Chain A
Amino acid sequence: MSMVEFAGVTKRFGKTVVLDRVDLQIDRGEVVVLIGPSGSGKSTLLRCINALERIDGGDLRVDGISVLGSKAKVREIRQEAGMVFQQFNLFPQMTALENVAFGPRQVRGTSKVDAEQLARELLAKVGLADRVAHYPSELSGGQQQRVAIARALAVKPKLMLFDEPTSALDPELRQEVLRVMQALAEEGMSMVVVTHEMTFARKVGTRLIFMEHGHIAVDGPPVDLLDNPPNQRLRDFLQHVG
């Protein structure tokens, strides 16, 4: 069974069709890198997977559960698909440790002691063992994003969704986030990543999808597509993101 299965998914914002009958299957262990010009629907496609956007047509299943199901089913999907946002969206009133321990306590019924233990382990894993007591406002963007990754992992998802995770970061801070993501991919985590980081796509991605006007225009192995773009618009696009 596929991890994620789009079947004729359509999404509209008002009269604008953002996703136009998209079919897509993502298997366990794949690292799918989504690229495309702004407005091509790549972020929307990602946000449909954990039902932050409601789909208007077709069906979308995550680990066999449809996003069209009950609220409880949708929450189940969200627990299986961790999300990392462009703007981090850490909870500002909580320390790094509390941010990470929050999810398991809220949705997995984990005890406080166990949740904090898990949070410490995950923060150590993203290289922030010495920042557990810091509030988000006391952390750099790169550190905040790594806390956000730990927060998403704490719920023990089977799939991780990244929505332009490095776009809000200064170039020198991007690497620390990309390294954490690469380590995660090497552990076999299924990932869907919207990004403009072509080096990451080439090195870490197992599959590259180029979106355009709400369609999947190109879909294939990253190295092949980046070296020999099969389509003129992908070639133009790659030149722009350089």
Chain B
Amino acid sequence: MELDWSVIVHAMPALLQGAKLTVFIAVVGLAGGVLVGLLFGLMRAYGNRIVSAIAFVYVEFVRGTPIVVQVMFIYFALPVLLDIRVDAMTAAVTSIIVNSGAYISEIVRGAFLSVPRGLREAGLALGMPTWRVLAFVVGPVAFRRMTPPLGNQFIVSLKDTSLFIVIGVGELTRQGQEIMAANFRAVEIWSAVALIYLALIGVLTFALRTVEKRMRIL
């Protein structure tokens, strides 16, 4: 077996094009996922029975089904049900939002509830409204506790974008697959693809570590 690493050079522009799309889906999807997670996490932690039940059902639906099924549903089933058109990119970004949102909501809930109850009482005892106590007293402490599991989720979601190969989004894995199909250089191309993922996640890990170092976990 002879390896020809020069094929990577030829493949690189296309792979980087794919990597750009991967990053875009992950960043937009996770930004949405954090907002959704914050909303549903707080609903579960502090909402009344109905509000909390809504959040519970959402989380259980997402956690109880594979992300591939979720993206298939959004891309193929939802258009039929709602009579709308969903393009592949929208489906991909939506999937990350919905999927990571559920996991992040559990992270948010856990972090907020792990903050000693006394802090909340101290804020309330000053005469602050509950939402201000959550935003300015409990939130900042909870946020610090969220960082490690949140980083974990960011990494998982970034890699989950590779599953969008099934709906034909031209992200990194899809690009690798297409090049491979044309030149049959499996070892070279998949090595390159793997290294690009590794580099992306390396950057993410470094950024997370910097954030963690700059604030003390309380």
| A interface, CB within 8 angstroms of B | 50, 52, 71, 75-79, 82-83, 85, 87, 89-93, 102-103, 106-107, 137, 148, 151-152, 155
Contact = CB atoms under 8 A, between A and B. Distances in A.
Nearest to A82: B125
Contacts of B206: none
Interface size class of B (residues with CB under 8 A): 10 to 19
Contacts, number: 63
Q: Which one of A91, A137, A148 has the greatest number of beta carbons of chain B within 10 Å?
A: A91
B136 A106 contact: yes
Interface string B111-137: 000001011011111111100100011
B137 A155 contact: no
- What is the predominant secondary structure among interface residues of chain B facing chain A? helix
Contact of A52 (B124, B136, B141): B124
A148 B129 CA distance: 20
Interface of B: 116, 118-119, 121-129, 132, 136-137, 140-141, 144, 218
Given A71-B129, A106-B126, A107-B126, A93 B118 contact: no
A155 B141 contact: no
A78 B141 contact: no
B118 A107 contact: no
A89 B124 CA distance: 12
A83 to B, nearest CB: 4
A56 B121 CA distance: 20
Contacts of A90: 122
A89 B122 contact: yes
Contact of A92 (B124, B129, B132, B141): B141
B117 to A, nearest CB: 9
